[in-house]
Amino acid sequence: PFDVLVVGGGPAGAAAAIYTARKGIRTGIAAERFGGQVLDTMAIENFVSVSYTEGPKLATALEQHVRDYEVDVMNLQRASKLVPAKTPGGLIEVQLENGAALQAKSVILSTGARWRNMNVPGEQEYRNKGVTFCPHCDGPLFKGKRVAVIGGGNSGVEAAIDLAGIVAHVTLIEFDGKLRADEVLQRKLRSLPNVDVLVSAQTTEVRGDDSRVTGLVYTDRNNGSSHTLDLEGIFVQIGLLPNTEWLKGTVELTPRGEIVIDERGATSVPGVFAAGDATTVPYKQIVIAMGAGSTAALSAFDHLIRTSAP
Ligand code: FAD
């Protein structure tokens, strides 16, 4: 069995595996797709101390760094079930979709999350060419330009307020008849001179000139009429879905599916820790996921020296 089994090979999982391997304990990492969301990213300009890199390059560097150590890397493996230890300090089992079962004294969950898509024509085609999910990452790319934010929940309204300070103009588009964000955020939003809010509006198409986004089409749900907005950027903020469906009923999750952790990365199951976008960590970013992965790893190590027989 492993001393530590990491499930998930994004920034959080890679950091966790490096930290535990450096303690000289038997470490495995099982990932459906090593690199995680980083593989879907183009320019990265907020990976602190690296002015500019690109997702696939960072993903390769993550895997390279992990392979510098004696880590058992199991790529293209999807976990389907977690079975807690039968006795305190006993072995925890992680079952894989291919039927295999891995055992470990402690487990670090770092299965990340995925952004909900609008599922409209043009969205995939113009991903990273104007269609984006992350105002913290990509906001500065649209300095002085016109953008839309899709989604009127807290993250959409926060994104619109954030972007209004950088871009020329923001249109916030909400499907429902009213915004769902906290009142204080809505008040702040409405005070901004360069923001328009459209409610009961359904985005139906992303338009572009083959290389970049040039606009979007929406339907006014009150009367069915169709309208076009000319703009350069579209920030989709309609939900981040944690990859935790397989943990339901075993590990405590929030109603939104985030793994509940404490400040040490401990979950509700003894010996099971978690890190990154799959958890209740407040901000979902690469450097934050790496820090959280390191925290979970050090906590797992601490757990092992307290529970393992000498
Ligand atoms: P992820 O990167 O989501 O990795 C999860 C890992 O778990 C993957 O290996 C996945 O295959 C695996 N996995 C999932 N389910 C299972 C399962 N059941 N069994 C086994 N493995 C599983 N952040 C920034 O800081 N700067 C940026 O510029 C930036 N740009 C972004 C651009 C895009 C398009 C996207 C989508 C995100 C961007 N982010 C950016 C956010 C950043 O990528 C995430 O915060 C970060 O990758 C989270 O790391 P993680 O390890 O928690 O999860």
* Mutation choice for ligand 1 from 127, 286, 295, CB with most ligand atoms inside 8 A: 286
42 pLDDT tier (thresholds 50, 70, 90):
confident
Return the ligand 1 atom nearest residue 111 CA. 7
Pairing status of strand 79-83 against strand 213-220 = unpaired
133 Cβ closer than 6 Å to some ligand 1 atom: yes
Position 162 pLDDT exceeds 80: yes
> Is this complex's ipTM strictly greater than 0.95?
yes
Ligand 1 pocket: which of 53, 95, 243, 288 to mutate (most atoms within 8 A of CB): 243
Q: What is the mean pLDDT of residues 84-110?
A: 97
Tokens read off for 1: 């069995």
Dihedral angle, C-alpha 181, 185, 186, 190, nearest 10 °:
-150
Any atom of ligand 1 within 6 Å of the Cβ of 12:
yes
Q: What values do phi and psi take at 25, rounded to 5?
A: -105, 155
Q: Is the pTM of this model over 0.90?
A: yes
Mean pLDDT over 68-83 rounds to 98
Question: Within 13 Å and on the Cβ side, how many CA atoms surround 255?
Answer: 0
pLDDT at 31: 98
Q: Looking at residue 19, what is its pLDDT?
A: 98
Q: Render pLDDT for 111-142 as a digit per residue (tens, 0 to 9).
A: 999 999 999 999 999 999 999 999 999 999 99
**DSSP character at residue 142:** G
* pLDDT confidence tier of residue 20, bands split at 50, 70 and 90: very high
CA-CA distance, 150 to 191, in Å (whole number)?
A: 19
State the Cα–Cα distance between residues 16 and 222, nearest whole angstrom.
Answer: 50
For the residues 218-235, what does the mean pLDDT come to?
Answer: 98
Terminal CA-CA length for the chain: 17
Helix-helix angle 55-67:11-21, to 10 degrees? 20
**How is residue 17 written in tokens?**
């595996």
Residue 83, strand partner residues: 93
Pocket test for ligand 1, best of 37, 53, 128 (most atoms within 8 A of CB): 37
Q: Determine the residue type at 33.
A: R
Identify the helix (H) or strand (E) that includes residue 10: none
Q: What's the number of CA atoms in the CB half-sphere (13 Å) around residue 45?
A: 9
Residue of the nearest CA to atom 52 in ligand 1? 276
Report d(CA 253, CA 247) in Å as an integer. 8
